[in-house]
Amino acid sequence: MTESPSKVAIVTGAGRGIGAAVAARLAKDGFAVGLLDLDEASCVSGAEAIAADGGKAIGVGLDVSDSAQVDAAVTRVAEDLGAPTVLINNAGITRDNMLFKMTEDDWDSVMNVHLRGSFLMSRATQKYMTEQKWGRIVNLSSTSALGNRGQANYSAAKAGLQGFTKTLAFELGKFGVTANAIAPGFIATEMTAATAERLGVSFEDMKKGAAQEIPVRRVGKPEDIANVASFLVSDEASFVSGQVIYVAGGPKA
């Protein structure tokens, strides 16, 4: 580790939900933050909110599955904020359907965002981390990695991220870079609200039903994930690598 590695973080899918909460928390932890999202307006707004609170941040629009856009976005963060040493691969989408109804586009879209996107982002940022002999990569998996009806694509992608995480831990550890995954359970976000709408049920009813199946008897909040991410990117977590932490209000895996 260098004497003072740059405290610059990149969070993908930072326009809302978990990504926005993680970006805000890392800013409070003293990181300059690059908020990346397909919806540029939302991440620019998030960056402005961080700046208004005294932090330093920029918002950049990109498609994480496009290598040229990824390289350009990472370069911009490096030029505007400094060398990125923390990467939170959070960008994700759902295209839920039963297997017999799932289209190839449903499959490819989910794989491209979750897996290809995390690969491209990690490849683009690792050079800054290895040069500074310090870095943190946190990939957002899910309890769906254990299997979930109607989510063959999403489950496969989230399980794939766990293998990807462990491999990064092997490859990058000698450079002072750790890689871990967070696997959230039910988190109340715009994405889960959209799922409720698609299923034709009240989001409040969905949350109440989910809470009854969770040992701590509540659903998660984006801040619950942000708290764990904050620890994993800290110096105190330097001996934690290659792990999948299920943040689900009870035992999983």
Catalytic residue list contains 246? no
Rg for the chain (alpha carbons), in Å? 17
Burial 46-80 (b: 16+ CB within 10 A, else e): bbebbeeeebbbbbbbbbbbeeebbeebbeebbee
Question: Which candidate, 226, 230, 243, 248, places its Cα nearest to that of 19?
Answer: 226
Cα–Cα separations (whole angstroms), residue 154 to 74, 92, 140, 141, 151:
26, 9, 12, 10, 5
Q: Tell me phi and psi for residue 65, to 5 degrees.
A: -90, 0
Written as six digits, the tokens of 38 are 């397909």
- The contacts found for 39-45 with CB under 8 angstroms, 24 or more apart, are 39/15, 41/15, 42/15, 42/16, 43/14, 43/15
Written as six digits, the tokens of 220 are 């998660």
From 119, 154, 164, 246, the catalytic residue: 154
DSSP state, 244?
E
Count CB atoms within 10 A of the CB of residue 15: 25
DSSP 88-144: EE-------B-TTT--HHHHHHHHIIIIIHHHHHHHHHHHHHHHHT-EEEEEE--GG
Q: Which residues are catalytic?
A: 154
